[in-house]
Amino acid sequence: MLLLHSLCKRFRPDAEPLFSGVSLAIKPGECVAIMGESGVGKSTLLNCIAGLETSDGGRIELEGQRIDMLDDDAWALVRRKRYGFVFQAFHILPHLNLADNVALPLWLLDIDTATARARAQKMLDAVGLGGRALDAPNKLSGGELQRVAIARALVHRPAVVLADEPTGNLDPDRAGEVLALLIDTVREVGAVGILVTHSRLAAAQTDRVLQLRRDGLHSFDVTGA
Amino acid sequence: MIRALLRVFVASLLGRRLAGVLSLTAVTLGVALGLAVQIIHGAALDEFGRGMRLLAGEADLQVVGPRAGFDDNLYLKIAQQPEVRQASPVLEIEARLPGREEKLRIYGVDLFRVARVLPMLMPVAEDGAGRLLGLEPGRLFLSAAARESLELANGDLLTVQSGLRETELLISGSVPGAPAGQAFAVMDIASAQQVFDRIGVLTRVDLRLAEGVRRDDVLEQFAARLPPGVTVRPPDAGVAESSGLSRAYRVNLTMLAGIALLTGAFLVFSTQYLSVVRRGRELAFLRAMGMERALVMRGLLLEGAALGLLGGLLGVAAAHGLAALAFALVGGDLGAGYFAHVTPSVRFMPGASLVYLALGVTAGVAGAWLPARHATAQVPAQGLRAGNDSELLAANARWRAALTCIVLALLACLPGPLGGIPVFGYLAVAFILAAAVFGLPGAVGLLASPLALSSAVLARLARARLTAAPGQVVVAGAGVVASVALAVSMAIMVGSFRDSVDDWLSKVLPSDLYVRASSSVASGYLDPEAVDRIAATEGVARVVPVRYDSLRLNDAALPVTLIARPTDGGDALPVVSRGPVMDDTRPRVWITEAMADLHRLGIGDHLALPIAGRDAYFVVAGVTRDYARQHGAVIVELNDYRRLSGDHLINDLGVNLAPGANRDTVALLIRETLGDRVVEISLPAQIRAISLEIFDRTFLVTYLMQAVAVLIGLFGISTTFAALATSRSREFGMLRHLGLRRRDIGRLLALEGSLTAVVGVVIGTFAGGAIALVLVEVINRQSFHWSMDLAPPVGAIVGFALTLVVLAALAARVSGAKAMRGSAVAAVREDW
Amino acid sequence: MRSFQCLMLALGVSLAASAAERYPPVLPGKVITFPQDTGAHPDYRTEWWYITGWLQDTDGMERGFQVTFFRVRTLLGEDNPSRFAPTQLMFAHAALADLDRGRLLHDERVERALAPLAGAEEGRTRAWIGDWSLVLHEAGHYTTTVNAGDFGFDLRFDPSGEPVLNGKAGWSQKAPDPINASYYYSRPQLAVSGTLDIDAHSHAVSGQAWLDHEWSSEILPEDASGWDWIGVNLHDGGSLMAFQMRDRSGATMFNAGTLVEPGKGVQTFSPDEVRFQPLRWWASPRSGIRYPVAWAVEAGTRHFEIEPLMDDQELDSRASTGAIYWEGAIRLLEDGRQVGQGYLEMTGYGERLRM
């Protein structure tokens, strides 16, 4: 369970808040899409949730524990154990093969090599790239790279998966497939999924669609408007 | 078009000032060091040569002999030859001045003849004195420089030493024709012969030839008629001799400068490579816009050339400054002691400056060439895609090329020197360096594999990075390899050399005390009576007298040193090899390694030595080591020498104490016996300390150059990681998302840096060891003709290597700090 | 007597009078023997062999010539075993009076005596410096060779008579104090033959010459300023030598002479029998020094006049030996008729000699 309570973010202490009063509760296995106009702070909200930026008010609780007060290193530990990321630009390390890229979070958790290798393989199987574990990333298409990224985001069974425009660099056909895969996988591992996107089509596939405004999150009907 | 190239490419240099400044510094240093060595030696040699030429005056030819001189009867014969218009006899004395540090060169000349051959030696009496005042015994005329340095005026007395005797000479006038800066004195030849006990001896006859006589004809005819050991030569041959004296040393220094320049080229290569990697998309964009491949290539080469040119210009300026500094601090011979009397000044050398400027530009272009080729070989569309530097940094193992280079290096060690310069030895060094650089990519894999055993994520990441992008190591490490190879090879060579010299010194200085009246070239000596008195001193068990002279064995070669001393059948000598020459009744001679090399002599060969104007025949009984005399020396048994020459004088006397005798007491007794002012008594430990100090001073400049080269190598690591850290900021950003802490990123960079350094240092150390072998066995052997025992200073090298690895890790980490500081959020965004 | 001011200047202070007692004194009564005494006398302080004369080439051109070899004992380095020890110095001087040039050509050599390069032999005349030489051959004739910068000659001299001893049997007093004296003989009436090289041409020449050989230990008296000397071969086969020593006021302080008249033998004059009277003065355009180039000379009962071959026979060697004097070919007239040809030497008209 991820709980946001009255989160607030300013860029400068005296400035108008970028957003405030952001409250949200997401159950494990639930996937939420956050939409909003450009510049409203969707990615910033995501960064706050991940501890990559500090919020200026409110609370973040993960599984009943407050985590918004942690320092940088503690956040790094939290991210290492409990978070998974999917980026628009994939960020697959070119000098690692697919399996190693996927296993990277496991390495960080000091999981022994054989186990890590097996779990990475399983994840790759899950995203449909099981036969290409030893391939170098430069042989893959964008959609395939993002599948690897999804595998990497979930291989260590995180509590939270954050995805910032995961399909922004993909053509619509691939985008649908990859998104479905992401949501399915999040549900499968029982994680909390938060997806920031511009795409209504993408948002529509999630359990819940919210719109970020200055004064907080509002439910949003994708099919309307 | 050039303008476009300048704006697009060269202007980009301004955008990366740090890396630019570092590679500029490297080129500047390489050019500055190389050119400074040239300038310093050029100026010293010029000054030395100028002095010699000036003092050779209008002489067409000079008759010269052994240092001890030749029978002046020969002068009478030469002066009567119809080819000779005027002959001027000269007795040159290096006078020891008791109570003074400096020595005074005194030319004994015939006042009636010198004016027509060497007007600059014509003395002029003090005001109002008769013209022939100089004929009076004991009159001395000083050049302005000598007057100044000795602080003497007309009417003053100057004490000179001959043997152990002091004589007072009256300063009676000047030598107005003396070239500026030349400190010497002139006196009448008869007086000189008498005062310095050289009756019947000349050291030189200067000749002016009759009109219409060809110099070469006379050279040929006289050469055949002159007695053994005496030769006729053009006056400038002396300049060539002095040039030959320092050439080997000079060539070695120039090689060091060359390696510094090479390191500079590597650094240009690194920065250009990284710049190209970082500008991949920019370059692809330019190509997409329609700039053709060749133009991009030219533009990138232009960048390198611009760096090289600027570095070269700065280097040329710095070289002149360095030379001036060197003259001020250590003198014209960089402390090597070849040009003791010379005070040169820095002069602009246009030729050498241009050459080194060109070398600087070449280094820049050469450094830029490979990156430019890589960049232009890329398909634009690929480059336009999101940055992926490891493709550019991929490098294949080049074992075959490395092996080829090693074989070529081995082959290059076989031939002899070209014109006295070990050209092929240097070629071997170049091949070894090339082999090391070719071996780098492959070595990365080998050396990084132990990391596979570690499951630590940083180790995995570092290994993955290095093995997937060995180019990074090549780029960062090539400079390290070159500089480490240079430093290690010099350390091994200098260390072995110093060890061997030390060892040699203890072998050649077995006595407890050494007594001499002056250095062997100067006017002091011990006569048999003085030797007897020392031998009879209480507490003296045995004396070992040594007599030195220099002999001319043939017209072309430089004079060799003759050492006459008790040899104890060779046991008293630092013999390298000896052989049985039992059935030969000729007297034995031991030759030094240089002598064996230069005169192609071996054990059992017969050797004619011109002693006292006659050829005496010897058999070579053994080869000895001698680090003091590059042009060779022969050692004969003192009794043989005395029998053949009739010369019973002694230069150095080793004194062995009786058991229980006190060294200081004996030294004091000897001083009292002979006079405190006229003898120098030294302990072997002192001589050894002084010799080693001179040795260290000689190599001081090489230590400095090593330090600079290593610094340049570290620059390479630093710039590479600074640049890579920037281009890898997205990777680091993602790793931060995955939960790596800032300091983990720092540790990753440090790990990669030290791995790179380990690879560079290991390869560099191997290459350095190989180069040291080449230096010891080929280059030194061919330049200086002496062997040495390899004594690698293992501890120092290991310490140096470890330090370098730590420094490299630090450099990488500090350089990468920018990447660690950067926001992880910004790094992963596509549109930053 | 001859231009020994050269030597004086050249030797400078080293020949201070205090050293005089180390030289043998020149005393009357010494028997001069030939050819023994034609050789060098190295114990004495100075010695010279001096030839002057007139040459005529095949075109009838007349020239005066002079060649001198000096020997000086320096007292320097006599304890020095070096072969270069400058105990004896050799000077040589040669000049040619050429009407075409209107002045003298001259050259000189200086060396320390060092056989075989330069020296003066005892026993028979042989003085040489390099390829300059003067030799008396056993057959009785002299030869000289001179290779100067712009001239040279190679001459043979055949004496027609015995040597003429000047003064008292060869002891020639130079000043009122008899300490200033020399041993002095002359060889007048030498028939010259040989070649003269000038302007890259070689001329066969003949003529008459005069040789003086003089050695002494004590030179000029303190108060002397210079002297005038003539040596003339008379056309009748006789010869005239006369000199005067002048004091600082220019007045005569001593003079002497020797006249040989065929058939009458040798006549030596006491100081009151010789008189020099200047007739005409010539000023050197180079040095500004005025010389009496024409003289009236009384010798015993005979009255002569002297006319120079040319006025400008000044010899300026200030740059080398430091001396400037007049030394040239002259004609001797008696009753307006030429009776002889010879040489005149005049010193001390310029600066006072430096002692």
Structure token pair of residue B662 = 């006190």
Shortest distance, CA C54 to any CA of chain B (angstroms): 30
For residue B615, give the 3-state DSSP assignment.
Answer: strand
- CB burial of residue C116 (10 Å; 0-12, 13-18, 19+): exposed
C11 with B132: Cβ contact below 8 A:
yes
> Alpha carbon of C20 to those of B20, B29, B86, C323, C355: distances in Å?
88, 75, 35, 23, 14
B80 with C76: Cβ contact below 8 A:
no
Confidence of residue B246 (pLDDT cuts 50, 70, 90): low
> Alpha carbon of C327 to those of C227, C244, C259, C311: distances in Å?
12, 15, 21, 10
User: Which secondary structure element, helix H or strand E, spans residue B621, and what is its range?
Assistant: strand B614-624
Q: Which residue has the higher pLDDT, B727 or A210?
A: A210
C-alpha B495: how far from chain center: 15
Nearest to C12 among B89, B110, B129 (CB): B129
CB neighbourhood size of C56 (10 A): 16
What DSSP state is assigned to residue B775? I
Q: In chain B, whose CA is at the least distance from the CA of A104?
A: B457
Confidence of residue C352 (pLDDT cuts 50, 70, 90): very low
Answer yes or no: is C355 within a domain: no
pLDDT at C165 over 90: yes
Total number of domains constituting chain C:
1
A100 with B460: Cβ contact below 8 A:
yes
pLDDT value at residue B167: 93
Nearest to B189 among C11, C81, C84 (CB): C84
B137 with C83: Cβ contact below 8 A:
no
Put simply, the chain B residues between 88 and 127 with a CB less than 8 A from any chain C CB are 89, 110, 112-113, 125
Domain edges within chain A = 24-42+80-219
Show the beta-strand stretches assigned E in C169-301: 171-173, 181-198, 201-216, 224-234, 239-247, 252-261, 265-269, 274-283, 290-299
pLDDT at B198 over 80: yes
Strand-strand pairing, C252-261 and C239-247: antiparallel
Q: Which residue has the higher pLDDT, B253 or C340?
A: C340
Q: In chain C, whose CA is at the least distance from the CA of B80?
A: C117
Nearest to B828 among A91, A110, A169 (CB): A91
Instruction: Find the CATH number of the domain harbouring C76.
Output: 2.40.370.10
Strand-strand pairing, B124-125 and C337-346: unpaired
- Mean per-residue pLDDT for C194-213? 93
Say what percent of chain C tops pLDDT 90.
61
Q: Chain B contact for C76, CB < 8 A?
A: yes
Q: Chain A contact for B317, CB < 8 A?
A: no
Radius of gyration of chain B (CA): 33
Residue B144 CB partners (closer than 8 Å, separation 6+) = B174, B175, B178, B180
Question: Which residue of B737, B742, B755 to mutate against A (max A Cβ within 10 Å)?
Answer: B737
pLDDT value at residue C16: 46
User: Which secondary structure element, helix H or strand E, spans residue A119, and what is its range?
Assistant: helix A113-126
Q: Chain A contact for B728, CB < 8 A?
A: no
Closest CA to B300 of B192, B378, B410, B189: B378
Put simply, the chain C residues between 148 and 167 with a CB less than 8 A from any chain B CB are none
pLDDT value at residue A10: 86
B132 with C9: Cβ contact below 8 A:
no
pLDDT value at residue C14: 42
> CB of B10 within 8 A of CB of B295?
no
Domain hosting residue C122, numbered range? 33-346
Residue that the structure tokens 């014969």 belong to: B77
Answer yes or no: is C310 within a domain: yes
Q: List CB contacts (< 8 A) between B193 and chain C.
A: 80, 82, 84
As a whole number of angstroms, the distance between CA B546 and CA B566 comes to 8
Q: Which residue has the higher pLDDT, A203 or B11?
A: A203
As a whole number of angstroms, the distance between CA B444 and CA B462 comes to 11
CB neighbourhood size of A112 (10 A): 11
B and C: number of Cβ contacts within 8 A:
75
B684-727 and B729-737 helices, crossing angle to 10°: 70
pLDDT at C213 over 90: yes
Q: Chain B contact for A155, CB < 8 A?
A: no
Shortest distance, CA C65 to any CA of chain B (angstroms): 25
Nearest to A76 among B455, B740, B829 (CB): B740
B739 with A78: Cβ contact below 8 A:
yes
Dihedral (Cα; B29, B35, B38, B41), 10-degree rounding: -60
Q: What is the mean pLDDT of chain A?
A: 86
pLDDT value at residue B501: 83
What DSSP state is assigned to residue B236? T
Q: In chain B, whose CA is at the least distance from the CA of A46?
A: B825
Nearest to B739 among A53, A77, A96 (CB): A77
> CB of C250 within 8 A of CB of C287?
no
Answer yes or no: is C297 within a domain: yes
A52 with B824: Cβ contact below 8 A:
yes
B142-187 per-position pLDDT tens digit:
999 899 989 998 889 999 998 888 999 999 999 888 887 788 999 9
B510-524, B527-541, B725-739: least confident range: B725-739
pLDDT at B386 over 50: no
Say what percent of chain C tops pLDDT 70.
91
∠ CA B283-B287-B293 to the nearest 5 degrees? Answer: 95
pLDDT at B6 over 70: no
Neighbouring chains of B at 3+ CB pairs under 8 Å are A, C
Confidence of residue B284 (pLDDT cuts 50, 70, 90): low
Radius of gyration of chain C (CA): 19
Shortest distance, CA C2 to any CA of chain B (angstroms): 20
Domain A24-42+80-219 classified CATH 3.40.50.300?
Answer: yes
pLDDT value at residue C33: 93
A104 with B386: Cβ contact below 8 A:
no
A abuts C (3+ Cβ pairs < 8 Å): no
pLDDT value at residue C354: 40
pLDDT value at residue B830: 41
Q: Chain B contact for C285, CB < 8 A?
A: no
Q: Chain B contact for A74, CB < 8 A?
A: no
* C54: β partners: C64, C208
Question: Which residue of A44, A73, A93, A139 to mutate against B (max B Cβ within 10 Å)?
Answer: A93
A and B: number of Cβ contacts within 8 A:
82
C85 with B136: Cβ contact below 8 A:
no
As a whole number of angstroms, the distance between CA C165 and CA B501 comes to 81
Q: List CB contacts (< 8 A) between B133 and chain C.
A: 12-14
Closest CA to C86 of B108, B171, B567, B146: B108
B84-114 per-position pLDDT tens digit:
988 999 999 989 998 888 889 999 999 888 8
* C68: β partners: C50, C93
The predicted model scores a pTM of 0.72
B391 with A138: Cβ contact below 8 A:
yes
As a whole number of angstroms, the distance between CA B293 and CA B299 comes to 10
Query: What was the ipTM of the complex prediction?
Result: 0.89
Give A98's Cβ-side CA count (13 Å radius): 28
